[in-house]
């Protein structure tokens, strides 16, 4: 984990680099659906390899779905924040990066940190095994998933997940996630 990870810094820095698309603002289910649609169209324009397109798009969808599941718990009016989410999708040579940020309940920070850290400690083969294990249990979390999101992002990206949490106030924290996706 890089404790200096700051999505606002990356957002500004990447504006001048190979940004495929970016968004900073309010969040809604319809907006996230639109981001997925636009990202898919942009990816189709820039990536010739079908398998790479599929892998990158799968990671994008999983990340945006995770944002959707978490921002439903956040009262944005109480936060008085217009910039509820940040999203940067960039191509770096042959590879891709997805950098996101969103508010989550501070009470969820330790559990999410623990899940990411646990996945980051696993080898590629162990991640595949863990994915099959969780998929096989069929348990559904209170967020409507089987807890596969972080595991699936790590499995498909082929790399470690970088993250940071910044305490906003007693109730909310800002969660930043960087996922680098190898095109090989």
Q: Kindly report the pTM of this predicted structure.
A: 0.82
- Domain 7-181 matching CATH 3.30.565.10: the answer reads yes
Q: 83 pLDDT band (50/70/90 cuts)?
A: low
Lowest mean pLDDT among 23-37, 72-86, 151-165: 72-86
Q: Which residues contact 4 (CB under 8 A, 6 or more apart)?
A: 164
Contact between 24 and 86 under an 8 Å Cβ cutoff? The reply is: yes
State the Cα–Cα distance between residues 29 and 40, nearest whole angstrom.
Answer: 17
Whether the predicted pLDDT of 22 surpasses 80:
yes
pLDDT digits (tens, 9 = 90+) for 149-160: 899 999 999 889
């Amino acid at each position: 984990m890089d404790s200096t990870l700051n999505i606002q810094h990356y957002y500004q820095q990447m504006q001048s680099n190979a940004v495929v698309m970016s968004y900073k603002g309010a969040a809604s289910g319809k907006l996230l659906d639109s981001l997925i649609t636009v990202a898919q169209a942009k990816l189709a324009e820039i990536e010739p390899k079908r398998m790479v397109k599929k892998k990158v798009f799968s990671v994008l969808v999983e990340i945006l779905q995770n944002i959707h599941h978490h921002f439903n718990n956040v009262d944005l009016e109480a936060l008085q924040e217009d910039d509820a989410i940040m999203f940067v999708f960039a191509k770096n040579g042959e590879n891709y990066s997805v950098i996101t940020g969103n508010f989550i309940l501070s009470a969820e920070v330790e559990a999410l940190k623990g899940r990411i850290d646990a996945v980051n400690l696993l080898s590629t083969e162990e991640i595949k095994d863990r994915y099959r294990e969780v998929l096989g249990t069929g348990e559904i979390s209170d967020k409507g998933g089987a807890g596969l999101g972080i595991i699936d992002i790590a499995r498909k990206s082929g790399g470690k997940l970088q993250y940071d949490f910044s305490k906003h106030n007693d109730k909310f924290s800002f969660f930043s996630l960087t996922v680098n996706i190898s095109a090989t």
